[in-house]
Amino acid sequence: MKISMVSEHASPLAALGGVDAGGQNVHVAALSEALARRGHSVTVYTRKDSPDLPPRVRVGPRLEVVHAEAGPARRLPKDELLPFMGELADAMAKDWGERPPDVVHAHFWMSGLAALDAARREEAGHRVPVVQTFHALGTVKRRHQGAEDTSPPERRWLEPGVGRSADRIIATCSDEVFELKAMDIDTGKVSIAPCGVDLAFFSADGPAEPRRRQHRILSVGRLVPRKGVDLVIRALPHLGAEGYDDVELLIVGGGADPGVLESDPEVRRLLTLAAELGVADRVTLLGQVPRADMPATFRSADAVVCTPWYEPFGIVPLEAMACGVPVVAAAVGGLRDTVVDRVTGIHVPPRDPEAIAAALALLLGDAALRAELGAAGQQRARSRYSWDRVAAETEKAYQLAIAGMPAGADRMEGAAL
């Protein structure tokens, strides 16, 4: 198959850990690589967000990344990119020319707009089937972030419109299917395919970073309030009260550039909180850790804590499991599918520092339990979440989208947004 991936803000080639660079980047990169390994030809279209980026980068024999000119060639918050989706569609349609792809797979709602637009251009000659992965939903974000949600107001009606117009939707977890139904989207056209994990890279075998204290707890992710890193800091005094104070909380994520970390308001908020709670000496903010160093960082931990307010999928728990480390996970969204309570980790209610502390005390006090949960996590990651398996499931969704196109479907026939 000839496949076009669209990922407007999340380039598969970007460094990870910044405010808008995380799971989607990993997902698009790894899925595209896995599909190319399966013999498909994949082109990823992402916005050119720096003047230095070349127009095309060949990543492998059947995989390339196109840096499309859509808006200014500098980094912009993703919530400011909506006005440039028409240009992204123009760039894609132009690049397709006479040879449109068999399927276009859009990641995030704005990419869906660009994909649907390009797919219906006359230049494409026929309507190209569009498969949509949302990664995150505005309805869920608004529910949790309320007035702090910086999404453009148009998301309220454009995102459900993308869902209704796409030929097929790939949900990354079962919880998302309920959310799509609540948005009045036909769930008959929804397939579930989770995110995956690079099992050759994330494994329990290999070196571990040295520790500074007896126990190490790890938090990994973009430093945004909804990831709930403050809850882990709030858990530390409770953990201390249970007798575990020789504990280090390592926080990975945040800006990549030197100096960015100190000026980041979320970093300042977390450090102030740690000082107020008297646990500043137990908390280390590492900033962005390069991908190459992540497995050794995971292996150094007794437990990885993922306690977001909500989570469309969450790749970090999978990476931890693949490295044989138990996960303390808020029982929300995708984490309810990936982390099995008392088998590969411990579920805690959302936004509950005391419950986090209780789960951590259980793990830190029992090395055998840690080993057991870690081994089960590794097995679960291996049996269910390889990118090859995820790519095979994604391929099935593509086939359904292609098969579902009316015979001889002509251009411009899709439902209007």
Please, which residue, 91 or 391, has the CB nearer to ligand UDP? 391
Please, which residue, 217 or 220, has the CB nearer to ligand UDP? 220
Q: Whole-number minimum distance, CB 307 to ligand UDP, in Å?
A: 12
What track of x and - describes contact with ligand UDP for positions 13 through 32 (by CB under 6 A)?
A: ---xx----xxx-x------
How many other CB atoms are found less than 10 A from the CB of residue 397? 23
- Read out DSSP for 296-333? HHHHT-SEEEE--S--S--HHHHHHHHTT--EEEES-T
Q: Does 220 bind ligand UDP (CB under 6 A)?
A: yes
Size of the site for ligand UDP (CB under 6 A): 20
Q: Whole-number minimum distance, CB 364 to ligand UDP, in Å?
A: 23
- Read out DSSP for 255-292? -SSTTHHHH-HHHHHHHHHHHHTT-GGGEEEEE---GG
Q: How far apart are CA 262 and CA 322, in angstroms?
A: 32
Q: Whole-number minimum distance, CB 288 to ligand UDP, in Å?
A: 4
Residue 373: its H or E element? helix 367-384
- In the block, which residue shows the tokens 């390339």? 64
284: closest CA among 357, 370, 213, 356?
Answer: 213
Q: Does 109 bind ligand UDP (CB under 6 A)?
A: no
Bridge partners (DSSP) listed for residue 347: 329
Q: Does 320 bind ligand UDP (CB under 6 A)?
A: no
Please, which residue, 68 or 289, has the CB nearer to ligand UDP? 289
Among 91, 170, 289, 325, binds ligand UDP (CB under 6 A): 289
228: closest CA among 352, 355, 359, 78?
Answer: 352
Q: Does 313 bind ligand UDP (CB under 6 A)?
A: yes
Q: Does 162 bind ligand UDP (CB under 6 A)?
A: no
Q: Output the CA–CA distances (angstroms, integers) from residue 401 to 12, 128, 131, 179, 367, in the order listed.
A: 24, 10, 7, 21, 48
Answer yes or no: are the C-beta atoms of 323 and 317 closer than 8 Å.
Answer: no
Please, which residue, 22 or 129, has the CB nearer to ligand UDP? 22
Q: Does 37 bind ligand UDP (CB under 6 A)?
A: no
114: closest CA among 199, 273, 12, 5?
Answer: 5
Look at residue 90 and give its three-state secondary structure. helix
Q: Does 221 bind ligand UDP (CB under 6 A)?
A: yes
> Among residue numbers 225 through 254, which ones bind ligand UDP (CB under 6 A)?
252-253
Residue closest to ligand UDP when measured from CB atoms? 22
> Of 308-316, 338-346, 350-358, 370-378, which part binds ligand UDP (CB under 6 A)?
308-316
Please, which residue, 252 or 355, has the CB nearer to ligand UDP? 252
Q: Does 294 bind ligand UDP (CB under 6 A)?
A: yes
Please, which residue, 124 or 381, has the CB nearer to ligand UDP? 381
Q: How far apart are CA 230 and CA 144, in angstroms?
A: 16
Q: How far apart are CA 69 and CA 75, in angstroms?
A: 13
Please, which residue, 24 or 386, has the CB nearer to ligand UDP? 24
Q: Whole-number minimum distance, CB 27 to ligand UDP, in Å?
A: 8
Interface contacts to ligand UDP, rule CB under 6 A: 16-17, 22-24, 26, 220-222, 252-253, 288-289, 291, 294, 313-316, 319
